[in-house]
Structures are given as C-alpha cells and as structure tokens.
C-alpha cells in the first residue's frame, strides 16, 4: 500500500510538472505520500520512512528561498559566473532592442494558443486601402520594368509620381507631411510594387525602412523633425543611410568611420562641429541622395563636450552638397538597376548640434537607434519584397501550367510539375501568413526583434525556393530574357534579398538563436544580469525558475512524445487541432534542448554556429507554423485554404523535427544527447514532409480553381491583357479554361473512334467537319490556341539591338 501511494505521489508530481507547476509538485507529492502513509497505517517501514524524510528535505531545501539561497545558490552562482557569456556593450544593446512577443511563448515551451488566436491584426484603414487601389496600382500600371532595365533607372516621370504621391513618406505621420501608414499597409504597398518591378519596390522600400525618416521620427529633436520630415515625405529630399563599410559589413559596430569633435571658424563665427571621415559602400539611393544618414564612431579628444573621449556609435544627417563628400558612383547589384553605390567623406565638417540625430542627448546612442529601427524594418521591407516575388510566381505558374501543353496535356497534370507547383503555392501561403501576423504585432505596438530576424531570413530564403521552382516550371522560356519574361528579373534579384540587411547565414547562425536564447528565454537574461550585479536573491529566483522550467518541460515533452501529443491542450480549431498539439510538443522539446545546449556548452555555444543555426531553424519553423495556423483560423474555411494550411504546417513540423534531430546528433556531450533523444523522440523521428497526395491537391487547386489562385495572389498587380508577360498569360488562361470542355469533346470523340488522332489545329477541323463541335466552338478553340502560342513565345532581338541590351 505505501508503495502504491508513492507511485500515486509521483504521478501527481508528473501531472503538476506537465502543467508547469514544478516545485509545487514536490510539495504536493510529499503531502500525498504522507497522507497515504497515515492511511495505510505504516509505522515501522524504515525504507519508506527514509524516502519520505528525503522528500521532505528536498521540498524544504528547494521550496524555501531563504534556505535555498544560503545552502545552494551561494555556491552555484560563482560557477555560473564562469560559464555564462559575457556581454559587451554592443551585444547588450542588440539583445535589448525591440520586444518579446509570441517568440517568448515558443521559447517558454507552453504556447498559449488561445492568446494567439484571440489576437486580431488590424485591417487596412480606408485611406490605406484607397492608396493601395489607387496610386499604388497606378504606379504599377505606368511601370515598364523591361524599359527600366534598359534605361538603368526609373524614368523621370516615375520618379516624379513617386514623390508627388508621397510613397517615400509612408512611415512619416500625417502631422509631418507623410501618409502615416500602418505596418501592414506599408508591407502591402511594397508587395504590390514588387510584383511589378523590383527596382521601383526597392526605391520605395528603403526610405520607409532604416533611414533618416525612421530615425528622425523616433529620436530626432522637434526642430529636426520640422526641418526634414515634410521634405522627405514630399520627395524634396531623397534620403539614404550609410551604414556598411569595407571593414564593417555584418559587424556594423566595428565601423572605422569617425567623427572628431572640434571647433572651426565658419563665416567669421566659431562653430562646434564634427570633422568626419568615412568610406561606405552598398548604400541604396546613394547616387541620387540629397540627405545622407551616417553611422560613425564619435570621438572627443579635446574634451569639448565631456570627460569621455570615445563616445560610441552616433548617427548624423549630412546634406549632399557639404564639401568633402564623394558621391554619385553606382554599384551594379546583379544587374537590378535600383540606385546603389559608395559614399566617401574626407574631412567633412558639420555643426554638431544640427547634424547629430537627436542632438547631444543622443550622442553615443546610434547603435541602439539602429538596432531598434532594424527590429521593425526587418519585419517589413524584405519580407514584403519576397512575398511580392512569390505571389507573382504563383500567379504565373498556376496559369502557365494550365495553358502550356505537352503530349496534348497541360503540363500541370504531370506529377513532375505538381511537386514544385505545390511548393510554390504552399510556401506563398505560409509567407503571407507570417507577414500578416508579424505586421499585426507591429501595429499593436510590438517591435519583435527575433521575429523580425526570422521573417527576414526565412521569407527571403523561401522566396529563393519559390523563384527557383518557378524557373524550373517555365524551363526554356524562363532563361530567355526580354519583356515577355518577368521571372528572369525576379531571379536576378533573389541574392540581393538573401544578402542585405544582415546576410542570411549570419542572421540564422548568430542573430535569431543568439539573441533569442537570451532575450526570449524566461530566465537566461535575468541570470546574466544577476551575476553581473552580484545579486544573490535575483540569481536564486532566476536559476530555480530556470530549473523548474527545464524539469516541467522535460516531463511535458516526454509525455507528449509517448502519447503522440494527444494529451496536449488544443483550441477549438476545426480540423487543425492535432497540429496545435504537435507544435506544443515541439515547443517543449525545443525548450529543454536549447537549455541543454546552453548548459553543456555555456558561452562557447555562440561559436558553435552549426548547432545554433539548427536551433534557429527549430524556433523559426515553430513561428512560421504558428502564423500558418493563425491565418487559417482567421480566414474563410474553404477546401483550398485547408489544403494549403495543412501542407505548410506539415512542412514546418518536418523541418522542426529535422532541426531538433540535427542538434541531438551533434551535441558534444553524447550521453546527455542520448538521454535527451529518448525524451524527445522515444519512438523515433516520425514526422514526414507533406504527402504526394496533399501536394497534388494543392497543385490542382492552383491550376483549376481561379478563385483560390487569385486569393493566394491578392497583392499581385495584373497588367492589361495586351501586355506581354503576365497580362497576356492571364488572358490566355481565361480562353484556355473556356476551351477545356470543347477539347474534352474532341478527345472523347477520338477515344470513341469518331475522329482520327491528329495534331491540335487539324483535330479542330476534323471535329467541325464531323459535327462533333460547332463553328462557334471551333472559333473559341482557335482563339485559345492562338493565345497559347503567344504566351509560350520568347523574345528574340536583332543583332544590332541585342548589343545595346542590358
């Protein structure tokens, strides 16, 4: 009887641990054990009594903080001081930038799905929708991207239209002359333009991301805002921001750009200013910029503004016309002709109080300003560009695979085409879902830095996969450049999105997990701060909270693994409940695996970039799956949406599993890895990528269901029918769809022996002659075939013209 009671106590302990009540579980288990002991009448069972005494001692030791601090934490704290990473000033600023949102739930191992589903992203305002439907669509209509490539710039009338309609001032509030748009409006405008012209999209995107406008808005003095923001919004000033230099790319804080505080006499007046020297490159809009934002290290060797010589990274605004600036040269980023080039400054002198963004109060705060601005900017700009390219690929390939025929069959009917087509559609659905939720968080006041990094890295990488698949489907026609071929220009731009605003390799291996492990974890940053401050009480709370977290999530991960996640709570989510349960399991598994990696490797984990990259993969796909489930929860429950949501979520679950297995297979402390593998995958790694059948369903919806294809590509600008490329393809698709029943009649007649087999046009004529189809149907077939011939044609050039092409 006592042993049965002890087992009951352990079950109670596990139950409380599963629900996140770790040390309370110890106390409850002891209470149940004592109660069972009394009920059973046990008086002399020495072994059982010893077990109870040990349990009581442990409960007292770990459940009473004053006792715990003196007997345990006091000795543990010096050990942790040696293991925990030491944070430099720039690292700490980067870690503290932005806010923690849903990523905190995922890191904590018990995501609150009801909280996520109750969150409502703000829709477009009436003025935002009007701008999207009006000026944005009109800009797309006016753009000729092939001509932009040949001219190597946007035409003057496009530049003028962008300025007049204040595209460059979307993030600037209306009181300062801008449009005051939300994050989701900003994203959707960039997405639509990107579906038409990457050059135009980048031109609009950059001033609304990290740049003078954003920095002035949040950190500038009121005088600086009044002086610059209205002119920036109207396009009277073209901004750029000079951050990257030859010596400081991904490690932007290592900049050698320098500003020395000194006094000069200017026009007979002594001026306190900065003598600036810098070399910057890869600066978008630099060749045409009139107002330069500059990041540099400010030094005060003569102590003119204080007692400290090195004041740190600072940001300033410098007019283009200032003497000493060399500007105007252009880089050629993959042939995509947006304005981008180097800027060099030699002994450039500017008044300190006018130039430094935020005035003297913001001297030395430049790194914080940049990190906080990037936390939001990474969530919007390049993800929007990536979605524009992916939605365009979905639109093109869904139509092309229906219109293009081989062996008298639309190529979309072949399984070899279905597979990449399903990837294109499924990833586009997932990417758009991530954009909606992330922008919703931004509009709700969050600045989720880790989530922003996830969106930047994983949406641009998904775009690379989508565009590559689209090129494969279009095959020969995709590699022949010309006005008919929109995909080639999207292909040119792919590496740019992968590389800029923090190269994806760096973002994945260092920023997402490196920042997330400290910033999003419920206790790690508290432990680091407590050790740095030598605060024993704070360390005690943090370390035992951390142990409680590990213990409860380990129990939870084990139980969910053994039960196939079935005992996890799930929201009322139609047919998607099992996916929520599986993600809950993987969230708990991620928590204990992450803690184990940090505990066994300590500060050296940040140099184990293969491991940290896989942990970043797991966290990223947990977030992307959450976005997918949230999107499906909020949208109409159609059959195509259901198939897309399942495809995207199953891909995410598989990617999470592979990332976790990759960490387990490569943890240096092998016995720990083996124990964890038994906890997380006791029955093996059982998740698989989306099945062929599900992929076929997704592909067929994109091929056969025009409403589904249009819903999935709602942000794409569709040109008029007479324009080569997507416009002609859409028109050809409409004609091909109308011709399908007529073609079916002819094929049925061939099978029935009423008509002999013959190539397309000849079979049409035989069908008319035999009375299988009418004259009107014959005309419809010819129109469809002519349209097909037009859209599968490729561009060819006169040799002399070809020599002039770019």
CA-CA-CA-CA torsion sign (650, 466, 609, 86): negative
- The burial of 82, by beta-carbon neighbours within 10 Å (0-12 exposed, 13-18 middle, 19 or more buried), is given as exposed
Distance between CA atoms of 636 and 646, rounded to whole angstroms?
15
Phi, psi (deg, nearest 5) at residue 761: -60, -35
Phi, psi (deg, nearest 5) at residue 153: -175, 165
Q: Decide if 314 contacts 298 (C-beta within 8 A).
A: yes
Question: Which one of 128, 237, 501, 777 is the catalytic residue?
Answer: 501
The two tokens of residue 480 are: 């022949």
223 is catalytic: no
The two tokens of residue 401 are: 């695979």
Nearest to 209 by CA among 188, 179, 243, 186: 186
Distance between CA atoms of 382 and 210, rounded to whole angstroms?
12
Q: How many helices (H) and strands (E) does the chain have?
A: 36, 9
Distance between CA atoms of 128 and 166, rounded to whole angstroms?
13
Distance between CA atoms of 41 and 614, rounded to whole angstroms?
54
CA of 144: how far to CAs of 63, 140, 155, 691, in Å? Answer: 70, 8, 9, 40
The two tokens of residue 565 are: 């996640």
Straight-line distance from the first to the last Cα atom of the chain, in angstroms, rounded to the nearest whole number? 87
Distance between CA atoms of 634 and 627, rounded to whole angstroms?
11
Pick left, alpha or beta for residue 100 (phi over 0 → left; psi -120 to 50 → alpha; otherwise beta). Answer: beta
Q: Where are the alpha helices (DSSP H) in 271-365?
A: 352-355
Residues serving a catalytic function are 501
């Amino acid at each position: 009887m006592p042993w049965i009671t002890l087992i009951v106590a352990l079950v109670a302990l596990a139950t409380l641990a599963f629900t996140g009540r770790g040390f309370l579980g110890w106390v409850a288990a002891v209470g149940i054990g004592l109660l069972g002991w009394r009920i059973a009448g046990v008086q002399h069972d020495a072994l059982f009594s010893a077990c109870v005494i040990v349990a009581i001692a442990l409960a007292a030791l770990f459940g009473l903080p004053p006792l715990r601090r003196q007997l345990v934490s006091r000795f543990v704290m010096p050990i942790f001081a040696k293991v925990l990473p030491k944070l430099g000033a720039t690292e700490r600023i980067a870690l503290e930038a932005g806010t923690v949102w849903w990523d905190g739930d995922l890191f904590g191992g018990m995501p609150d799905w009801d909280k996520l589903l109750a969150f409502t992203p703000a829709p477009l305002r009436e003025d935002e929708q009007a701008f999207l439907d009006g000026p944005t669509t009109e800009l797309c209509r006016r753009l000729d991207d092939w001509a932009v490539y040949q001219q190597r710039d946007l035409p003057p009338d496009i530049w003028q239209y962008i300025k007049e309609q204040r595209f460059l001032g979307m993030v600037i509030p209306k009181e300062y002359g801008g449009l005051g748009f939300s994050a989701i409006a900003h994203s959707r405008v960039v997405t639509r333009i990107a579906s038409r012209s990457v050059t135009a999209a980048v031109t609009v995107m950059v001033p609304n991301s990290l740049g003078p406008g954003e920095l002035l808005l949040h950190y500038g003095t009121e005088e600086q805002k009044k002086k610059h923001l209205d002119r920036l919004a109207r396009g009277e000033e073209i901004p750029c921001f000079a951050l990257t230099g030859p010596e400081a790319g991904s490690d932007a804080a290592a900049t050698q750009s320098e500003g020395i505080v000194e006094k000069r006499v200017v026009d007979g007046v002594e001026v306190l200013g900065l003598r600036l020297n810098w070399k910057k490159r890869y600066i978008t809009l630099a060749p045409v910029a009139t107002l330069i934002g500059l990041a540099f290290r400010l030094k005060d060797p003569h102590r003119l503004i204080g007692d400290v010589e090195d004041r740190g990274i600072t940001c300033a605004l410098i007019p283009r016309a200032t003497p000493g600036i060399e500007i105007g040269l252009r880089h050629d980023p993959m042939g995509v002709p947006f304005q981008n080039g180097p800027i060099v400054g030699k002994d450039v002198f500017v008044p300190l109080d006018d130039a430094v963004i935020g005035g003297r109060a913001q001297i030395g705060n430049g790194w914080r300003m940049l990190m906080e601005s990037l936390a939001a900017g990474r969530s919007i700009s390049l993800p929007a560009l990536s979605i524009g390219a992916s939605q365009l690929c979905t639109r093109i390939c869904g139509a092309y695979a229906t219109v293009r025929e081989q062996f008298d069959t639309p190529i979309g009917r072949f399984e070899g085409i279905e597979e990449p087509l399903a990837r294109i559609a499924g990833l586009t659905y997932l990417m758009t879902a991530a954009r909606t939720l992330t922008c919703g968080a931004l509009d709700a006041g969050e600045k989720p830095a880790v989530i922003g990094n996830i969106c930047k890295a994983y949406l641009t990488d998904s775009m690379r996969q989508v565009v590559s698949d689209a090129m494969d489907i279009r095959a020969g026609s995709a590699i022949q450049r010309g006005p008919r071929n929109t995909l080639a220009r999207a292909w040119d731009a792919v590496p740019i999105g992968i590389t800029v605003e923090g190269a994806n390799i760096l973002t994945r291996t260092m920023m997402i997990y490196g920042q997330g492990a400290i910033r999003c974890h419920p206790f790690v940053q508290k432990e680091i701060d407590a050790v740095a401050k030598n605060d024993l009480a704070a360390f005690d709370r943090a370390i035992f909270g951390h142990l409680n977290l590990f213990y409860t999530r380990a129990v939870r991960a084990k139980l969910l693994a053994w039960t196939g996640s079935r005992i996890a709570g799930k929201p009322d989510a139609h047919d998607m409940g099992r996916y929520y349960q599986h993600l809950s399991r993987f969230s708990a598994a991620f928590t204990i695996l992450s803690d184990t990696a940090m505990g066994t490797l300590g500060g050296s984990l940040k140099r184990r970039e293969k491991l940290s990259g896989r942990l970043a993969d797991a966290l990223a796909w947990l977030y992307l799956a959450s976005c997918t489930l949230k999107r499906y929860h909020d949208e109409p429950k159609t059959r195509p949406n259901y198939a897309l949501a399942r495809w995207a979520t199953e891909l995410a679950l598989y990617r999470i599993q592979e990332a976790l297995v990759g960490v387990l297979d490569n943890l240096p402390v092998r016995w720990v890895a083996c124990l964890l593998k038994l906890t997380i995958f006791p029955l093996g790694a059982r998740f698989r990528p989306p099945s062929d059948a599900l992929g076929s369903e997704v592909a067929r919806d994109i091929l056969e269901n025009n409403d589904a294809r249009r819903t999935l590509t709602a942000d794409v600008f569709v040109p008029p029918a007479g324009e080569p490329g997507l416009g002609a393809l859409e028109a050809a698709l409409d004609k091909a769809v109308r011709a399908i029943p007529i073609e079916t009649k002819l094929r049925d007649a061939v099978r029935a022996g009423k008509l002999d087999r013959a190539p397309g046009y000849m079979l049409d004529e035989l069908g008319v002659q035999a009375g299988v189809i009418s004259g009107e149907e014959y005309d419809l077939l010819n129109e469809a075939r002519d349209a097909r011939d037009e859209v599968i044609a490729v561009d060819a050039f006169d040799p002399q013209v070809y020599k002039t092409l770019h």
